[in-house]
């Protein structure tokens, strides 16, 4: 280990790294998209089941998607967002609804 002030592997003429930056991992928004066919109750059920929302919160987000075309359902790490999108898409496909769920960098 170096005993130079503030340095990591620095010699006497190159002092580097006075602070260690703690980077936050990037976050991803999970978006739900509107369509004309998926039943409203099915969307509410998905929001309760996969996003831990209560019925009132789920109904409100479903209505926002219905009226505006899309809404952010939550913000997660890449891995969690990817899992949520896959769960929603798989559940919708298994029930033969065209519901679309995507993610984008926050
Ligand atoms: N627009 C759909 C309907 O009228 C309801 C709906 C809401 C569908 C949200 C998808 O992500 C969605 N049955």
Residue 43, burial from CB neighbour count under 10 angstroms (0-12, 13-18, 19+): buried
Enter the ipTM: 0.99
pLDDT block averages, 10 residues each, the chain of length 106: 41 72 94 98 98 98 98 98 98 98 98
Q: Are 7 and 55 in contact (CB under 8 A)?
A: no
Q: In a 3-state reduction of DSSP, which class is residue 104? A: strand
Q: Ligand 1 atom 4: the closest Cα is on which residue?
A: 36
Contact partners, residue 104, CB within 8 Å, separation at least 6: 28, 29, 31
Please tell me whether the overall predicted TM-score, pTM, comes out greater than 0.90 for this model: no
Beta carbon of 60 within 6 Å of any ligand 1 atom: no
Model pLDDT, residue 8: 44
- Test site for ligand 1: of 65, 92, 98, most ligand atoms within 8 A of the Cβ: 65
């Amino acid at each position: 280990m170096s005993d130079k002030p503030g340095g990591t592997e620095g010699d006497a003429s190159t002092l580097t790294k006075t602070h260690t930056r703690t980077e936050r991992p990037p976050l991803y928004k999970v978006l739900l998209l509107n369509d004309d066919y998926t039943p409203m109750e099915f969307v509410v059920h998905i929001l309760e089941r996969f996003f831990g929302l209560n019925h009132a919160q789920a109904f409100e987000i479903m209505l926002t998607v219905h009226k505006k075309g899309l809404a952010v359902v939550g913000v997660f790490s890449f891995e969690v967002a990817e899992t949520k999108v896959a769960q929603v898409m798989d559940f919708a496909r298994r029930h033969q609804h065209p519901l679309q769920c995507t993610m984008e960098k926050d």
